[in-house]
Structure 1
Amino acid sequence: MTDLLVDRTDGVLRLTLNCPERLNSVTTEMFEAMSDALADADGVRVAVITGEGRAFCSGAVMRPDATNTGILEAADRLIHLVTEAPFPVVAALNGLTAGIGSSLALAADFQVAKDTDYILQAFVNVGLMGDGAAHELIAASIGRARATRLLMLGEKFPNAEAFAAGLITHCVSPDEWQSTVEALVEKLRTGPTMAYARIKSTINAASLMNLDQTLRTEAAEQAVLGASADFAEGVAAFTEKRSASFTGS
């Protein structure tokens, strides 16, 4: 089975994470393939990123012995391509959206979510921090207080609350979700692409001014945390399905 489905039809680029058995947790290779597709987007007027099954993306693949080698570098490239693409990018959130998957979703221009699901930044629960520019993407949208709560406490953020707070653009019932996604995609596909590109770049220039620095800081700090005893304990606890016993070291 192909981990990423890529379809280009009538100006619409559709990228579908296709590992439903692991809730579409991503690998470095999947992110690289997504980046390659976005970088080779001649004739694209709108891109759609979604997932197969009951999750949009549950974050990076976790292994007990190591982090997903190269995932931050791959995420850096992908986040830049999503935010800099000269066309709108829609994150069609078909289910759970967690970790670096939520960073990817929030980097998009539109998020169409179901009111029965939620967003989760849970890396703190294994002794790590958010990545994929999560610290800037979240704070730029809903402010320092909510960003602190979401990233430090690792709590579920229901999509209805995320929409009310201004973190995502659309939140509808599961019955309305597919039609809402397709109506938005068609509007963007047939709309003024040049104007969309300039609106997008101007908004991002005003609201994501420190994106490069945030990505570099996250990568440096995550490397420190990845070598910590707390991270080793967090991964062991996750694997063993028990509560972690952190020591702050």
Structure 2
Amino acid sequence: MNAVTWDQRERIIALLGDASADPDVRAVVVTATGRGFCAGADLRGGPASAGDRVTGDVARMIRRGAQRFVGAVLDCEKPVIAAVNGTAAGIGAHLAFACDLVLAAESATFVEVFVRRGIVPDGGGAYLLPRLVGPQRAKELMFFGDALPAAEARAMGLVNRVVPAEELEKTAREWAERLAQGPTRALALTKQLVNASLDTDRATAFAAEATAQELCMTTRDAREGVAAFVERRTPSYEGR
């Protein structure tokens, strides 16, 4: 069920960082094989037993682990698509919700499984969910820990589109290719503006928008977009 091990987490964080730095990478798809998207953290690779822990060990583990993992998706400078093929539970659900666009197979489910283990949501769950569905819905999902089918997740606004399982990979590729043909730096700046807007006041958001547009207008793609408009042709973006 693709429970995340330490090695897998570090590899994905590194890949997302590499994607940000590589101008030839224009979009990212996060998906999985098998029956599950991600069943959460692999607890077999967890911290030492309770008797060996000292105060601060768990908080440090969360900061260095689950929070870095979700933060790597939010901070990636390329658009990130989640293609959720099955169960997304715990950190697996938060990994999907952190992505910019979420596709889900009809058979996919999302589970805030933490309450079933007697622990609080980590990996940014209490940050992400209220911003996506509001505090009341977020509490319902987190208090009860019920499995949320893909169709209900879409109705709540957690998923962009639900497709038959056999069409998931094809749809994700189509979306990624469409994004890859876009003005990559403009998309990165747009992602930053939208994510930051949820934590800032209007004056700060407007100032960030003006600065982002100033930066964007120095790119080749912005010049190409304006030229294509004037010349009444389809723009050809390079991602630079």
SS in 1 for 2:143: helix
Extract unaligned runs of 5+ from structure 2: 51-56, 201-240
Q: Which runs of 4+ in 1 moved over 4 A?
A: 64-69
Aligned-residue Cα RMSD (Å) equals 2.0
Q: TM-score, with normalisation over the residues of structure 2? A: 0.73
Whether the 8 Å CA contact 1:87–1:197 is kept in 2: the answer is: yes
2:31 aligned residue (50, 67, 73): 50
Task: Give the aligned residue type for 2:15.
Answer: A
Whether the 8 Å CA contact 1:27–1:71 is kept in 2: the answer is: no
SS in 1 for 2:43: coil
1:37 aligned residue (7, 15, 30): 15
In the superposition, relative to structure 1, how do residues 202 and 48 fare at CA in structure 2: closer, same or farther (>3 Å)?
same
In the superposition, relative to structure 1, how do residues 66 and 151 fare at CA in structure 2: closer, same or farther (>3 Å)?
farther
User: What is residue 243 of structure 1 aligned with on the other side?
Assistant: none
Task: Describe the superposition over 1:132-155 as per-residue Cα deviations: whole angstroms up to 9, x where unpaired.
Answer: 111111110111111001111111
Whether the 8 Å CA contact 1:137–1:208 is kept in 2: the answer is: no
Q: How far apart are the structure 1 equivalents of 2:83 and 2:39?
A: 14
Instruction: Give 1:28 deviation, angstroms.
Output: 2.1
Q: How far apart are the structure 1 equivalents of 2:62 and 2:120?
A: 14
Which one has a larger percent helix, Structure 1 or Structure 2?
Answer: 2
Q: How far apart are the structure 2 equivalents of 1:120 and 1:61?
A: 16
User: What is residue 93 of structure 2 aligned with on the other side?
Assistant: 102
Q: Are 1:155 and 2:149 counterparts?
A: no
Which one has a larger percent strand, Structure 1 or Structure 2?
Answer: 1
Seq. identity, %: 37
2:156 aligned residue (149, 165, 168): 165
Task: Describe the superposition over 1:37-60 as per-residue Cα deviations: whole angstroms up to 9, x where unpaired.
Answer: 111221221111111111110001
Of structures 1 and 2, the larger Rg is shown by 2
Whether the 8 Å CA contact 2:132–2:157 is kept in 1: the answer is: yes
SS in 2 for 1:53: coil
